[in-house]
Structure 1
Amino acid sequence: MAEAAPAPMPVPEVAIADAAALDVHLRDADRPFVVRGLAADWPLVRAGRTSASAARDLLLGHHRDRPFTVSVGQPGSGGRLFYDAAMQMNFRTMEAKLPEIFARIHAFAGQPDAPAIYLASIDMHQFFDGLHEANRIDLGTREPLASIWIGTRTRIAAHNDVPHNLAVCAVGRRRFTLFPREQFRNLYLGPVDHTPAGRAVSMVDFHAPDLAAHPRFAAALAEAQVVELEAGDALYIPALWWHHVEGLEDFNVLVNYWWRDAPRWLGQPQEALHHAMMTIRDLPADQRTHWREMFDHYVFAADADALVAHIPAEGRGVLDPMTPALAARIRAYLLRALSR
């Protein structure tokens, strides 16, 4: 008999009185939390509680007449947007107008083997007029990217995102299973360059985890948290936390806000990881050890001032504190080096 997977813990819930209280929680939290009913007064939430058709009509009343990128899965896949047996995507990505997409979603409603239809990370400002203004969370001085996710019953493999994330279930229901950052080793990540949506994903099927093939997944589940969001509920996901996401109704809408603590002019760590794979990973072991120590010294040093105390201030170059000008200089150097 196969060993049973441990059950995840619930995500803690907090009460929020106003935008100021939300700001405090977002600044202080280093773990996920749920706010029930945070967006209960949104017109989109109220429409969705009436019917899926009412929610679609509201969205169509705001949409711009332009093509939307949509992913369409295979019939009978259970809504899982993932790899097929040949490690190719089991879904097609195409462009269509929103009324056409919604007509397909309506036509498949109630069919158990219907293909997943999924609009992922649609910029609310670029693709809708007035939707964000009528349905938004006050995040104070943060300048988030506001995105909307629309689709049928879907299963999105566990992945992480670089920014912080406030995810608001606007229509339908969603289930999130979350893991701390350090659990990546126990999630059995797939390719880092050939991915469903730009981030490496867990290869474990959360609906049928095979602990014989993925024994460390049990350790990940022991640290996992799970929550089911109803319409109007919000979930905070700290930067780089892993999350598996399921749309549980025939029609689901999520609005999320992404923001980073780091300034926008800093580069992306994922790009540095790819460059390190190219330049360091296949070196002889003794050289890899040396470069690990160099990275610890120059990148992960606890006392940055000690690195430069012996160098005159005017000669510290890239060892100086990072600024937009210095970041631009480093970027130009890298572009020249990579073009050779």
Structure 2
Amino acid sequence: MSGRVEVAGNIRVIEDCLPDALPLDELLASGQPAVLKGIARGWGLVQGGLESMQTAMAYLRGFYNGRPVQYSYGGPEVAGRPFYNDDFTDLNCEVRRGGLDQVLDEIAAHAGDAHPPTYYMASLPIDGCLPGFRAANDLDFAAHGVQAPPSIWIGNRVTASCHYDAPDNIACCTVGRRRFTLFPPEQIANLYPGPLEPTPGGQAVSVVDFAAPDFERYPRFREALACGQSALLEPGDAVFIPSMWWHHVQALDAFNVLVNYWWSSSPAYIPTPMHAVYHALWTIRDRPEREKQAWRNVFEHYVFGPGERAGEHLPEAARNVLGPMDETLARQIRAMLIGKLNR
């Protein structure tokens, strides 16, 4: 049995946003998704897209420096959904390299097709390929002391399957409309993540087809829908996606462009926790249940509890890795782990 996705809630909307008055502190303090209505409406690319697809494409070509770009291509049978093959051992799209102008030409050539090939250029660093673009198309992260170099996403009617990202994210809808459907991190099991490798975009994605969910095969997905939030973004709107929130993104028009900003509150010397996930899968997951519960207590004490608790009863000089993390300690831990893993 299948049916269409209907989530329980709408993403809250913040009106009267300006790109040079980004409400970053309020967003981070809330920890909740928010639509920043019209924040990028005055951008040059947004205005070009409101005029026509051709105007938006010409605007992008005006900044392109000719560097080859990487993009995903799939035949009409992919139906705009970069995903897995039937047995989840490979992907249904191929990775190609070419010029941005070539990709734009191919998208334009198929813009009127009922079932076009899929073109998806994901997370292209703007500063590397579109120098000068940010002068009239940017959010003022620098005013908050945040380094968040933007990326651009270009394609036709592409669906990015539900996934999470570790950094916080502001995604600006610049050309075409997009529907965002978000779920809080605790819904991970109800979203049925696919393999950790390979993945369509670097992160595990939900294997549920949101266009026609199979509730018999994925019954817990109904619980996720009860906790979901959605919003339809018009050109110039943006959405704040907090760290680790799952998001499903549907591009709804024949040509779509999105600009996003990822940033982390953690310093660069703290690596991704996914390394720890892989290590725990290897060292903990298949132990007897009583041992796993004991290790759960160990992790709660050392990792998930208050940061200072594990070492607060020790003299400061004796705390070592139980003390506050800094770049020197991070390098020591990294060296220690490499040494132990190479034995």
Structure-2-length-normalised TM-score: 0.94
Match of 1:179 in 2: 183
Match of 1:297 in 2: 301
Deviation at 1:56, TM superposition (A): 0.9
Match of 1:286 in 2: 290
Deviation at 1:229, TM superposition (A): 0.8
**CA 1:49–1:4 in structure 2 vs 1: closer, same or farther (change >3 Å)?**
closer
Alpha-carbon RMSD? 1.6
Deviation at 1:157, TM superposition (A): 0.7
Match of 1:199 in 2: 203
Match of 1:108 in 2: 110
Give secondary structure in 1 for the equivalent of 2:72. Answer: strand
Give secondary structure in 1 for the equivalent of 2:23. Answer: helix
Q: Does 1:97 align with 2:107?
A: no
Match of 1:132 in 2: 134
Identity %: 41
Q: Where in structure 2 are there 5+ consecutive unaligned residues?
A: none
Quick check: 2:285–2:292 contact (8 Å CA) kept in 1? yes
Match of 1:330 in 2: 333
Give secondary structure in 1 for the equivalent of 2:32. Answer: coil
Quick check: 2:170–2:241 contact (8 Å CA) kept in 1? yes
Give secondary structure in 1 for the equivalent of 2:26. Answer: helix
Match of 1:77 in 2: 78
Give secondary structure in 2 for the equivalent of 1:80. Answer: coil
Give secondary structure in 2 for the equivalent of 1:137. Answer: coil
Quick check: 1:35–1:235 contact (8 Å CA) kept in 2? yes
Q: Does 1:51 align with 2:55?
A: no
Match of 1:168 in 2: 172
Q: Return the alpha-carbon distance in structure 2 between the equivalents of residues 116 and 196 of structure 1.
A: 13
Quick check: 1:153–1:249 contact (8 Å CA) kept in 2? yes
Q: Where in structure 1 are there 5+ consecutive unaligned residues?
A: none
1:170-221 superposed Cα distances (whole Å, 9 cap, x missing partner): 1011111111111111101111232111111101000001111111111111
Q: Which range moves more in the overlay, 44-53 or 278-287?
A: 278-287
Residue 163 (structure 2) aligned to one of 150, 159, 163: 159
1:70-100 superposed Cα distances (whole Å, 9 cap, x missing partner): 1002213220110111321010001101111
Give secondary structure in 1 for the equivalent of 2:62. Answer: helix
1:135-160 superposed Cα distances (whole Å, 9 cap, x missing partner): 00112221113110000000111000
Match of 1:315 in 2: 318
Quick check: 1:6–1:218 contact (8 Å CA) kept in 2? no
Deviation at 1:57, TM superposition (A): 0.8
Q: Does 1:9 align with 2:9?
A: yes
Q: Return the alpha-carbon distance in structure 1 between the equivalents of residues 195 and 49 of structure 2.
A: 37
Match of 1:33 in 2: 34
Match of 1:233 in 2: 237
Q: Return the alpha-carbon distance in structure 2 between the equivalents of residues 2 and 125 of structure 1.
A: 43
Q: Which range moves more in the overlay, 68-77 or 251-260?
A: 68-77
Q: Return the alpha-carbon distance in structure 2 between the equivalents of residues 256 and 126 of structure 1.
A: 15
Q: Return the alpha-carbon distance in structure 1 between the equivalents of residues 167 and 13 of structure 2.
A: 21
Aligned residue runs from structure 1 range 252-267, under 5 A: 252-267=256-271
Residue 119 (structure 2) aligned to one of 111, 117, 120: 117
Quick check: 1:187–1:217 contact (8 Å CA) kept in 2? yes
Deviation at 1:7, TM superposition (A): 3.8
AA matched with 1:104: E
Match of 1:61 in 2: 62
**Segments of 4+ moved more than 3 angstroms:** 1-8, 16-21
**CA 1:169–1:197 in structure 2 vs 1: closer, same or farther (change >3 Å)?**
same
Structure-1-length-normalised TM-score: 0.95
Give secondary structure in 1 for the equivalent of 2:152. Answer: strand
**Aligned residues between the structures:** 339
Q: Return the alpha-carbon distance in structure 1 between the equivalents of residues 51 and 246 of structure 2.
A: 33
Q: Return the alpha-carbon distance in structure 1 between the equivalents of residues 132 and 225 of structure 2.
A: 41
Q: Return the alpha-carbon distance in structure 2 between the equivalents of residues 229 and 3 of structure 1.
A: 23
Quick check: 2:308–2:323 contact (8 Å CA) kept in 1? no
Q: Return the alpha-carbon distance in structure 1 between the equivalents of residues 100 and 4 of structure 2.
A: 43
Q: Return the alpha-carbon distance in structure 2 between the equivalents of residues 85 and 322 of structure 1.
A: 44
Q: Does 1:86 align with 2:90?
A: no
Q: Which range moves more in the overlay, 293-302 or 205-214?
A: 293-302
Q: Return the alpha-carbon distance in structure 2 between the equivalents of residues 301 and 42 of structure 1.
A: 44
Q: Return the alpha-carbon distance in structure 2 between the equivalents of residues 4 and 40 of structure 1.
A: 31
